[in-house]
Chains A and B, each alone.
Chain A
Amino acid sequence: MKSLQKLSRFKLTLLVLAIGLAIFPFVSDSRTALIMLTQIFIFAVFAMSYDILLGYTGIVSFGHAMFFGIGAYTVAICLKMFGSTMPAFFIAIVLTLIITGIVSYLVGILTLRLKSHFFAMLTLAVSSLFLVTAEKWRSLTMGNDGFTFVVPELFRDRVSFYLIALVLLVGTYIFLDRFTQSPMGKVLQAIRENEPRVESLGFKVMHYKVIANVVAGMVAGLAGILYAMSLRFVNTAVLSVELSLDVLLITIIGGVGTLFGSVVGAAIIELARHGLMDLAKVHWIFERWVILFGIIFILVVMFFPKGIVGTTKHWWDKRQYKKKEKLRKEMEAGAVKDTFS
């Protein structure tokens, strides 16, 4: 009970939400809702990993899909080569963590010393090299066409797959929340706010940025694994620039610098995509839903730079502060009255 009291009201809400989502498949038997929620969970994990870079450290990367793609390809190739068994799946997880770890470390130490936009261009370059490699190494990746593979028994059932994705989401959230609240995470946020000052305080900025890059890369790899398994198919789209831009959109719209914002962003974008695609039957303009998307994106950057969750949080904090101030003033007034009476 005591540990429960320690949790803030926000975390408690999240806990209730997670439990609600966990029992959802046993209450409703809508297959489309289940699949869509699974997709949302996967993209939320991907977006949270991106938020560690963009929102918490202030690094813009255009090549985050690279790590996502490495995860997707690793699991696909492992399951194809070693057969659709659980050990093969676990090998894929370990391999993904190792490969994304090494790649993100190397990319980090080579390029993070550059200014933000140069870094963005470099990540774009490196991820494009991966894309070209995947397209040309046909014996391994089947090039642009991609290939299908069979997933282990456990993942074939939509409900259990849904639960696994949910567990990954909650686990990632808790892990990244601890990470950003740790002294390490505080340094990252300080780098975002004022890099020269952090450096002059004696912190090795590069060192911290590389660690952020590695953590983000590894988590994105995990999201990629689940994404490939949900489709049971993989092709070079998982490495494309468009995917990197998608995750950027999700993070911005949800709100940078708040992990929960990434989850909200993923939900909004996935739901909007489905909803607007259905509307295409009503009027052809909805087939071009990206226009609407782009406009919303521009407006969000202009007027809500903190995104949906960030803005809400700001407003909420302000209200709480005002309430507290009012309470304090009333108490002070009361105290003054007491002394005079």
Chain B
Amino acid sequence: METIANITINGLATGMLIFLLAAGLTLIFGLMDVLNFAHGALFLWGAYAGIWAYTTTGSFLAGILAALVIGMVLGYLLERFIIKPVYGNHIQQLLITLGAMLVLSEVVKVFWGPNILQAQAPLWLQGSWEIGGLYLIKYRLFIIAVGLIVFLGLLFLLNRTKIGLIVRAGVMDKEMVQSLGINIRKVFLFVFMLGAAMAGLAGVLFGPYSGVIYAEIGLEYGILAFIVVVIGGMGSVLGSMVAAIIVGLLGAYAGYYAPDIALAVNFLIMLAVLIFKPSGIMGMKEAVR
């Protein structure tokens, strides 16, 4: 019983981390319809820059701040120079962001070297509480809390504020919003930077969670984020949350009970979802042409 509870908590934490990563992509891919393959690179940069700031200053909050800032700056640069010329063309978006992904992952190695970096949770998040055989690792609870805050914040932003209204309207009919005198380009740039900052945040939180970071996590987790967005359904923040938790929990259970298929679990879920309900669990947009 305790084992199952412990696995569930671990799975939830992993799911929340994946949600943080996927939430940014939900905004970029799901709402703005931009296939951003460089999302993993933003995550990677968040991890490296954040952990670097954290180890040099000794303050974890400084690390988080650095990750958010680097995410926003890179998001701005990507949107302005790489993605703007190819709005509306999926294949070109895919290819060009793939190129950006290659460049960004490689530049990380120039700055921080190709080797694995160690990362540890700050003192106040180390250790765990034990309640009747149940081990609550502090850092994982912290991730769950951050995930929930971001989730609620996003829902609030999209459903209750004017900017959320504009974004949702802009997704449905860009020209109409433009003709109402709102600069939709600026709104999209803002959304893109927000999504990028969230990828950076996921990156820096990932560091102490896994203990090590290396340049390949960019591609690995970028793909994972896409899987989650596809499972959850395009443009649905709630869908991403549900999908991320499913992926996290199933990954944790499979890791314990059937380690042989643990690696394939995500892909199997996505395969099943795409074959039986191509629009995703909570998807609104039609995936089949």
Q: Which residues of A come within 8 Å of B, CB atoms?
A: 58, 60, 110-111, 113-118, 120-122, 124-126, 128-129, 132-133, 135-136, 195, 241, 245, 248, 252, 285, 288, 290-291, 293-295, 297-298, 301-302, 305
Contacts and interface: CB of A to CB of B under 8 A. Distances in A.
A294 B278 contact: no
Interface of B: 35, 82, 85-86, 90-92, 94-96, 98-103, 105-107, 109-110, 219, 223, 226-227, 230, 260-261, 263-264, 267-268, 270-271, 274-275, 278, 287-289
Given A285-B110, A290-B102, A118 B230 contact: yes
Contacts, number: 106
A126 B230 CA distance: 15
Given A118-B230, A118-B287, A120-B94, A297 B85 contact: no
The 6 closest A-B pairs by CB, nearest first: A294-B102, A294-B103, A297-B99, A298-B99, A125-B267, A290-B106
A297 B102 contact: yes
6 contacts: A58-B91, A118-B230, A125-B270, A290-B103, A294-B99, A305-B92
A268 B288 CA distance: 37
Contacts of A111: 274-275
B110 A121 contact: no
Contacts of A136: 260, 263
Contact of A132 (B226, B263, B288): B263
Contacts of B226: 121
B264 A132 contact: yes
Contacts of B90: 116-117
Contacts of B264: 128-129, 132-133
B227 A121 contact: yes
A159 B43 CA distance: 47
A139 to B, nearest CB: 13
Nearest to A137: B260
B84 to A, nearest CB: 10
B263 A135 contact: yes
A115 B92 CA distance: 15
B110 A288 contact: yes
A146 to B, nearest CB: 18
